[in-house]
Structure 1
Amino acid sequence: MQNLQWYPGHMAKTRRLIEANLKLIDVVVEILDARIPFSGRNPHFDDIIKNKPRLLVLNKADLADKNRTKLWIDWYAEQGLKVIPISCTTGMGINTVIAEARALIQDKIDRERERGRNRTLKIMMVGIPNVGKSSLINRLIGKASTKTGDKPGVTRGKQWLRIKGDAELLDTPGILPPKFEDQTVAVKLAYTGAIKDEIMNTELLAYSLCDYLRDNYPNELCTRYKLDTVEGLKGYEVLEKIGKKRGFVISGGEIDMERAANMVLDELRGAKIGHITLETPSQLNEQE
């Protein structure tokens, strides 16, 4: 697998924007992709945000493995972090986001109310690219006022937005770490589309994805692509069988592996293979 790095100039600018505005903020809402609840976090956020109250939101929970989502909610609770699963597609959990964020500073709100002041809750929204921040904001404010897209790097600049229920939201563009210390993290980000496909070898990416699915979701893989078994096969052999089943045959009887790779990645991202989560807390411990 190639060494993946992707850090456009606007991401460095975003870090400075977050640091400059943090003093104005009550609560940071960090959006994660529920399919990569650990790899989908920018580890630099801990240094930037420090002790500011933080709510973790697992978006795309409708695409993820529910049993694994529960494991991650419990794991983060042990780290002292509140996590809620949501789906911007179905609307699941959206109405709880502001209430849970407010609950993190309820004591402060109550103290100010006793002094006769009504506090406007100020939230900063952060996350890596392509986790659905703009979609969540549009849900929260009830209209499409921010650009959304299924490719990383759509949101740019600083936007303050008014939310129903006496709250204001500062949106920030998605930001990845400037360097991936662990390439397995980078690969998982690439699986879900947080890193642009254009900068990577999608065939190699699909090979490693097929390896993971073979070991963790063999039934879903076989059912989706009508395979008898994937046991004992290497990732590229699994992809080759998939390409053959789908009729991706080119001249000389060879399989169009690039086409098969792009299809498998697209179908993972669209949950057509099944409800897939690409890591568990126990697998994280094994890696360490």
Structure 2
Amino acid sequence: MAKDIHWYPGHMAKARREIEGRVKLVDLIIELRDARAPASSSNPIIQEIEKQKPHLVILTKKDLADPQVTEAWIKHFEKQGTAAMSLDLTRFNAYQQIVQRSKSLLKDKMEREKQRGLKPRPVRALVVGIPNVGKSTLINRLAKRRATLTGDRPGVTKAQQIIKISNDFELFDTPGILWPRFDDPQVAMHIALVGSIKNTILPLDEIFIYALKYLCEWYPEALVARYGFKPDIASENWVEQFCQEISRRKNFRLVRQEIDYDRIYDLFFNDLIKGNLGAISWERPDDA
């Protein structure tokens, strides 16, 4: 597995500088992370700026993550003194919960300002996160309009903007930012598996083997339910055996009856993305 993975488009370097400049203008930092990989979908840059303001972690895409593991992550964050919640951003009441939780974190500050005779002003929050974690979906739903560009390409939201959610709540949107490089290959694996970087950044066969082995260890029943069997990872050629069996069952063959690995990879990763293998979490608090 590659030990040093570089992936840092130019607009991300600019975004970092802009985010650092905006922190002093807001009351709260709302960080979105993918519930399937809460540790890997954080960002060292965000960890640097979050110390300056109250911080709310929102685990998105909870419907795709193992609910028991997600609950363990929430307890883990709360134990560390970080406010956290998990949400399915496709549900309307999720946005009301975010606004209410944000205001509750600032309750003491707002009360102090009131006692000092300061005029009430809107709560202003900075929304941050890595690409494809759901920032645009969050902002669009909160603003009840297409406030930002949305898409399934990492980093599609390029420009920062302020969005008025209500008379007493405003958001600063920011582009998704990633590390200048991945020093931990496992972090890169998890980020690729949740779709925050293109899986072409890493060797596809390495991602496939990593994910398949993980599922065999943690979610074997998901493989059986979807494919009718699971590989025996104690076997020396377990990956090849799995591919041969999928090739036979799906008739994924090239000329001369060779295994069509590309179609197997497409099937497998498509099943992961669409949730056809069930709710899966790629990391646990004990690993953090």
- 3-state SS of the aligned residue for 1:205? helix
- How far is 1:54 from its partner? 0.5
Choose which of 265, 268, 274 in structure 1 pairs with 2:272.
268
Structure 2 vs 1, CA of residues 143 and 236 (structure 1 numbering), >3 Å: closer, same or farther? farther
Residue matched to 1:255: 259
Cα deviation, 1:239-279, whole Å, max 9, x if unaligned, reads 44334332212222222112211221121122111100001
Choose which of 226, 237, 242 in structure 2 pairs with 1:238.
242
8 Å Cα contact 1:208/1:235 also seen in 2: no
- How far is 1:153 from its partner? 1.5
Residue matched to 2:23: 22
Aligned residue runs from structure 1 range 1-288, under 5 A: 1-3=1-3, 4-91=5-92, 93-114=94-115, 115=117, 117-164=119-166, 166-227=168-229, 230-233=232-235, 234-284=238-288
Structure 2 vs 1, CA of residues 243 and 43 (structure 1 numbering), >3 Å: closer, same or farther? farther
8 Å Cα contact 2:193/2:199 also seen in 1: no
Distance 1:49 1:168 in 2: 18
Pairwise CA RMSD of aligned residues? Answer: 1.7
Distance 1:109 1:151 in 2: 38
Q: 1:275 corresponds to which letter in structure 2?
A: A
Structure 2 vs 1, CA of residues 239 and 77 (structure 1 numbering), >3 Å: closer, same or farther? farther
8 Å Cα contact 1:55/1:81 also seen in 2: yes
Distance 1:79 1:42 in 2: 17
- 3-state SS of the aligned residue for 2:163? strand
Q: 2:43 corresponds to which letter in structure 1?
A: N
**252-261 or 153-162, larger mean C-alpha shift:** 252-261
Unaligned runs of 5+ in 2: none
- 3-state SS of the aligned residue for 1:193? coil
Structure 2 vs 1, CA of residues 193 and 239 (structure 1 numbering), >3 Å: closer, same or farther? farther
Q: 2:249 corresponds to which letter in structure 1?
A: K
Distance 1:113 1:242 in 2: 65
**254-263 or 14-23, larger mean C-alpha shift:** 254-263
Q: 2:25 corresponds to which letter in structure 1?
A: L
TM-score normalised per structure 1: 0.93
Cα deviation, 1:122-154, whole Å, max 9, x if unaligned, reads 000000001010001111111122111112010
8 Å Cα contact 1:207/1:239 also seen in 2: no
Q: 1:259 corresponds to which letter in structure 2?
A: R
Identity across the alignment (%): 38
- 3-state SS of the aligned residue for 2:182? coil
- How far is 1:92 from its partner? 5.7
8 Å Cα contact 2:220/2:230 also seen in 1: no
Distance 1:125 1:240 in 2: 46
Distance 1:243 1:144 in 2: 43
- 3-state SS of the aligned residue for 1:276? coil
- How far is 1:50 from its partner? 2.1
8 Å Cα contact 1:202/1:258 also seen in 2: no
**87-96 or 64-73, larger mean C-alpha shift:** 87-96
Q: 1:276 corresponds to which letter in structure 2?
A: I
8 Å Cα contact 1:226/1:245 also seen in 2: no
Structure 2 vs 1, CA of residues 150 and 81 (structure 1 numbering), >3 Å: closer, same or farther? same
- 3-state SS of the aligned residue for 2:52? coil
